[in-house]
Structure 1
């Protein structure tokens, strides 16, 4: 009889494989088994032997202890993506698996410390179907969000920190594809919104628009169903509504247009450091307010292309994207207060240390076993002489 691996959790293999960006066939080829065998392991129909489990562990980059943990969190809501292109399917699965790792970490941290309460803007009862959400409702939701954070007529400050301060979990992760800008999701189990931003996208100004776009989804589309997302026309409408929210939130019409003293591209360039959005984003906002006709807006897009600004605008290269701090502060707090050392956190979660460092944005090596991050509480005294 072949030896088996007691305590093996089938769902953890699926989570680890998808997080590594591997298909079943690719993992089977790396491990030296059939795709059918991988499918049986993940379905719980078979348990891999110790030698195969070790090979699986090496290929997906997770320690053996990870596969003995209880089943991973399950998804009960919908995930908002910018695109459902077939080419991005593996990247989407990887992103969703990374999201479940975040849930794992937050569940574990919540057993050790009190997490920040969720205090997101309350935009009232919106229709369940996106077709019934009006432009006025979207403008009102953006205004309520600005009032929630006391923004007045000023440009929004660090949006990532605004969300984190309201109990949302925001992460920048390498999603392995430039086809994905971001994704967001409400998690029913803890009533907390989660946002993942693609760290491959380094443009700070476009990233702010991405965050505002995901905020639009979270506030406007919390009750959208997967069936509605799967409908191409409804999906397109949902995306347009999220962008409309982002424009209203980032560029409130009266305050922004008061600053637009000229529609010259160089004049808009001077507004970019203040409003912290791209020139292309500003132009679209001006167009949506009816100041530019469709033909003139098209011409402005051509002017942007002539200057090479459709890809890289002024201030893009030297400006760093907004970085999340919430999880980093959590683990540092637990370490400094001696609630749990980095070693204990790593052992408790049984994650690959590099992945846990990426999730929590701590310094490289923070979770390496054998490297405590807080001082020992040992007292010394002078040695007594004998004689």
Structure 2
């Protein structure tokens, strides 16, 4: 029996609309709709094209669905910079269900050390009224979070967040989306999804701080139910959290007062290198804190425009962009326990290795190099020597 719902969910997970997939496979969109709703079965030629397209085996579509619904669209802090702010949310919801299914596979073999993030969120919940946060509340929560999560320096921010208990994964998102975050499985698994297409280290750091703010401050918000004005308020709170989390006040003030002339953008380069945050975000924060005069702030932005730094600042092409390492590390440790883990994975779900490379955004041969071929597979001595047969 061909399971049409498996075609539907894997299409969603790969972020293709039915129209998109129909064009890719050169078939009618209505035909795909009938297949996905189990009104008809595809022919063998189309099944072969679909399995190659999604990097799965033919049997994938004939086995019962295995993905459990653990993600809730209302829990996903997701917005676009333009257009429909929640368009595409269902595809990300499906991706998160797949993601959690396979993270659970890994955790059945090796379980990550429980970090302080979840317990810190519970402390925040008991200490603050999260429905009526003040500016001072957000500042305090951000500074407390930095201490609780043991963020000594922004140089190893991603590593520190991962060992604190978060899962961070890269995924190709629309250009209008920087990142999003959510809690999975009844608010027990915090996840941040970063846009793999964004190529700025400082932007990535701000995005992680922003999504961390959503996870801590807005854990019980239903993002499906709020209006545009409320969403704007929550985004402002997350931005404020990120600023205080990434740029701790006392340390930043001491460093800022040493730069000399605050109207010259290049004077901020050492601060950018130290905090791994943009020159503009540092100056914006300094102005908000009252460390600059109005005239100094005006001249700063005039010079930013004059020097063409609005879109590209010094060090933007020099600072390394860190990638998530927790999932790779867990897979590595799972292989130490069971060397056939990846091979078993492929057989269990009837998929090819590129399927998992896509879900976890692993671009090198780390996964493929750890596949164990069946005994005798492609060994020369087991190949029939036809030239001897025809003598």
TM-score, length basis structure 1: 0.82
Counterparts of 2:303 and 2:90, CA distance in 1 = 38
Match of residue 268 from structure 2: 268
Counterparts of 1:27 and 1:89, CA distance in 2 = 21
Counterparts of 2:293 and 2:266, CA distance in 1 = 20
Counterparts of 2:292 and 2:93, CA distance in 1 = 40
C-alpha spacing 1:309/1:366, structure 2 compared with 1 (3 Å): same
Counterparts of 1:39 and 1:70, CA distance in 2 = 18
Which sections of structure 1, spanning at least 5 residues, go unmatched? 1-5, 374-387
Counterparts of 2:343 and 2:202, CA distance in 1 = 37
- Distance apart, 1:133 and its partner CA: 2.0
> Residue 125 of structure 2: SS of its match in structure 1?
coil
Kept in 1, the 8 Å contact 2:14–2:95? The answer is no
Kept in 2, the 8 Å contact 1:228–1:234? The answer is no
Kept in 2, the 8 Å contact 1:9–1:69? The answer is no
Q: Does 1:259 find its partner at 2:255?
A: yes
Match of residue 105 from structure 1: 102
> Residue 193 of structure 1: SS of its match in structure 2?
strand
- Distance apart, 1:56 and its partner CA: 2.8
Kept in 1, the 8 Å contact 2:155–2:275? The answer is no
Q: What is the aligned residue count? A: 361
Match of residue 384 from structure 1: none
Match of residue 300 from structure 1: 300
Kept in 2, the 8 Å contact 1:272–1:278? The answer is yes
C-alpha spacing 1:244/1:350, structure 2 compared with 1 (3 Å): farther
C-alpha spacing 1:163/1:9, structure 2 compared with 1 (3 Å): farther
Q: Does 1:160 find its partner at 2:161?
A: no
> Residue 200 of structure 1: SS of its match in structure 2?
coil
Give the alignment of 1:349-368 within 5 angstroms. 349-360=349-360, 362=362, 364-368=364-368
Answer with 233-242 or 180-189: which moved more. 180-189
C-alpha spacing 1:180/1:92, structure 2 compared with 1 (3 Å): farther
- Distance apart, 1:145 and its partner CA: 0.4
CA deviation map 1:334-381 (0-9, x unaligned): 2233254322223234444224124445563344499439xxxxxxxx
CA deviation map 1:299-351 (0-9, x unaligned): 42332122122222111212221221111011111223325432222323444
- Distance apart, 1:104 and its partner CA: 2.0
C-alpha spacing 1:227/1:99, structure 2 compared with 1 (3 Å): closer
Kept in 2, the 8 Å contact 1:108–1:349? The answer is no
- Distance apart, 1:193 and its partner CA: 0.7
C-alpha spacing 1:161/1:225, structure 2 compared with 1 (3 Å): same
Match of residue 346 from structure 1: 346
> Residue 244 of structure 1: SS of its match in structure 2?
helix
C-alpha spacing 1:248/1:271, structure 2 compared with 1 (3 Å): same
> Residue 284 of structure 1: SS of its match in structure 2?
helix
Counterparts of 1:8 and 1:353, CA distance in 2 = 22
> Residue 317 of structure 2: SS of its match in structure 1?
coil
Match of residue 235 from structure 2: 239
Match of residue 214 from structure 2: 217
C-alpha spacing 1:330/1:133, structure 2 compared with 1 (3 Å): same
Partner of residue 179 from structure 1, selected from 156, 176, 193 = 176
Kept in 1, the 8 Å contact 2:178–2:198? The answer is yes
Which sections of structure 2, spanning at least 5 residues, go unmatched? 374-391
Counterparts of 1:168 and 1:362, CA distance in 2 = 18
Counterparts of 2:286 and 2:25, CA distance in 1 = 55
Counterparts of 1:146 and 1:28, CA distance in 2 = 48
Match of residue 318 from structure 1: 318
CA deviation map 1:197-240 (0-9, x unaligned): 111111111111110111000000001113444x1101111110
Q: Does 1:13 find its partner at 2:15?
A: no
Match of residue 382 from structure 2: none
> Residue 15 of structure 2: SS of its match in structure 1?
coil
Kept in 2, the 8 Å contact 1:128–1:224? The answer is no
> Residue 327 of structure 1: SS of its match in structure 2?
helix
- Distance apart, 1:91 and its partner CA: 5.8
CA deviation map 1:97-137 (0-9, x unaligned): 433332121122123332332531332345464xx222122
